[in-house]
Chain A
Amino acid sequence: MLFPTPHSWWRGARPIDANGGKTLADPILRRRIKELLIERLKFEDMTPDDIGDDDSLFDGGLGLDSIDALEIVVMLESEFGIKVKNESSAREYFRSIASLADFVEARTSKAQTQA
């Protein structure tokens, strides 16, 4: 298996946003999420390079629907060990690959801190 520890394989250097000092999710994590979406949502003939980090996932953009959102929820649990329980706080993170990666990073960092 390429990534034997799916909940932490992407941890490593985290680039810093030069504008605000905000921590950005690892580009490797963003690419992995794109690969997972392509695989799970069966986007044939699409590659990670076809999806922009800030492209809208639902409204316009990739045009995902509520059924696809459920697949993302299942993907977050099976690949990253993240259970999406508080929907209202999670909803804003489902806007783009970048926000989804930030969500994964925040939740896994929190889990690691509590462990």
Chain B
Amino acid sequence: MTTWLRLLPHQIPFRAASSMLSVDDDSIEGSFLCTADDALAAGGMPIDVMLIEAMAQFAGGLAFGDRPGHGYLSAIDRCSIDRMIVAGEVVAIRVDREADFGGVFRFRGRATVDGVEIARGRFYLAAPPLN
């Protein structure tokens, strides 16, 4: 499980999940590091988008970290961001599994900076097809 970050289909610069701190059956915690030289931000992508992507990637780690194959992000809803994040900030992320049924998973993600929640959303992931 601890190696799933290296096994993600997204790697730098598309890997937004920076580090994992803890994981159990129903939740995962990690961080997103906002750097001044982020390649995607330099290319014009709002860094906030990568924060949301980080929550989705952690959800993927929770759902599929110990499985062969990759899952798919199916939907995002109830997502909101309170403020811009800036270079140098370390965003703590927690993702909780709410439900899974029929190969589809629902998670709730929250992002905080210094203990203050700045973003949240619900994420739906679909399991890879069985071979």
Interface residues of A (CB under 8 A from B): 66-67, 69-74, 77, 84, 87, 90-91
Name the residue of chain A whose CB is nearest to the CB of B104.
A66
Residues of B near A84 (CB, < 8 A) are 99, 101
| A66 closest partner in B (C-beta) | B104
Q: Which chain B residues lie closer than 8 Å to A69 at the CB level? A: 101-102, 104
Q: Which residues of B contact A91 (CB under 8 A)?
A: 102
One of A70, A74, A77, A90 near B104 (C-beta < 8 A)? A70
Closest B-chain residue to A91, C-beta based?
Answer: B102
**Bound: A87/B99 CA distance, A:** 11
B contact residues, range:
10 to 19
Q: Give residues 70-116 of B contacting A (CB, 8 Å).
A: 74-75, 98-106
- The answer to whether B98 and A70 touch across the interface, beta carbons within 8 angstroms, is yes
B32 within 8 A of A: no
Q: How far is the CB of A75 from chain B (nearest CB, A)?
A: 9
Contacts of B99 in A (CB 8 A): 70-71, 73-74, 77, 84
Task: Give min CB distance, B105 to chain A, whole Å.
Answer: 8
Chain A interface mostly helix, strand, loop or mixed? helix
Q: Give the docked Cα–Cα distance between A70 and B101 (Å).
A: 6
B contact patch SS: strand
Q: State in angstroms the CA–CA spacing of A71 and B102 once bound together.
A: 12
Tell me which residues across on chain B come within 8 A of A67, comparing CB atoms. 74-75, 104, 106, 124
Residue pair A66, B98 in contact (C-beta under 8 Å): no
A67-B124, A70-B124 given as contacts; is B104 within 8 A of A87 (CB)? Answer: no
- A65 CB, min distance to chain B CBs, angstroms: 9
Closest-CB distance, B72 to chain A (whole angstroms): 12
**B101: chain A residues within 8 A (beta carbon):** 66, 69-70, 72-73, 84, 87, 90
User: Closest B-chain residue to A94, C-beta based?
Assistant: B101
Distance, CA A72 to CA B75, complexed state (A):
17
**Would you call A70 and B75 a contact (CB within 8 A)?**
no
10 smallest A-B Cβ distances: which pairs?
A: A73-B99, A66-B104, A70-B106, A70-B99, A73-B101, A74-B99, A69-B101, A66-B102, A70-B101, A74-B98
Most chain B CB neighbours (cut-off 10 Å) among A70, A73, A77, A91:
A70
A29 to chain B minimum Cβ distance, whole angstroms, is 21
